[in-house]
Amino acid sequence: MIIFLFLVNAQGFKVLDTHIGAIYGDSITTDSAEQICKQLHDKGFASTNIVLGIGSFTYQYNTRDTFGFAMKATSVVVNGERREIFKDPITDDGIKKSAKGLVKVVIENGEYNLIDQVSVAQENEGELKEIYKDGQFYNTTTLNEIRERINQNINSTVLV
C-alpha cells in the first residue's frame, strides 16, 4: 500500500515531498541513528526523509516514556476557526492515539481523568487553568506553595 507519493533521486533512493517526513525523537544514540539509516537504505528511502532528535540522551537517559507522560496539542485556531488536531498513527498498537479537540480534566474518585472533544465552556470548568496568555501570567503558584503541596502529599501517602 502506498501512503505518500515520492520521487527517486539521482542515487536511486525514494524522496518524499518536503512537506512530509518523520521525526524520530527521544534518545537517539549514534548506534540507533546508524540502524535507522541502514533500514531506510535497505528499503530504498533517502535519509533526508527523516529528522533525528538526540534529545535527552546527550545528558541523561530519561525520556517522556520514563514517566509515561507526553503533552500534545489537541486544538488550534486558524483564521478564527477552531480545529481539532490529534495524533492517530496508522502503525499504532492502541497507545499512541491522542486526545482530540478541547479537553477537560476532572477529578473522579480522587483520580484525574481526561475528557476530550468538549466545548469551550466545558473546558473552562475543568481542573486545567490558564497560566500564560498574550504576555500575561495568570493563576501563578510560588515555589514555596509547590514545596508545601509536595510535603503534604508525601506526608499523606502511605508507602507499601
pLDDT tens-digit readout, 17-37: 888 888 877 667 778 888 999
At residue 154 the predicted structure's pLDDT band, cuts being 50, 70 and 90, is: confident
In the structure grid, which three cell numbers stand for residue 20, read together? 512530509
Name the least confident of 8-17, 28-37, 134-143: 28-37
Rg (CA), the chain: 21
pLDDT at residue 62, rounded to an integer: 61
Query: 135: burial class by Cβ within 10 Å (0-12, 13-18, 19+)?
Result: exposed
* CB proximity list for 31: less than 8 A, separation 6 or greater: none
What pTM was estimated for this model as a whole? 0.50
Within 10 angstroms of residue 75's Cβ, the number of other Cβ atoms is: 19
Cell 481542573, located at residue: 127
For the chain, give every domain's residue range: 6-61, 75-156
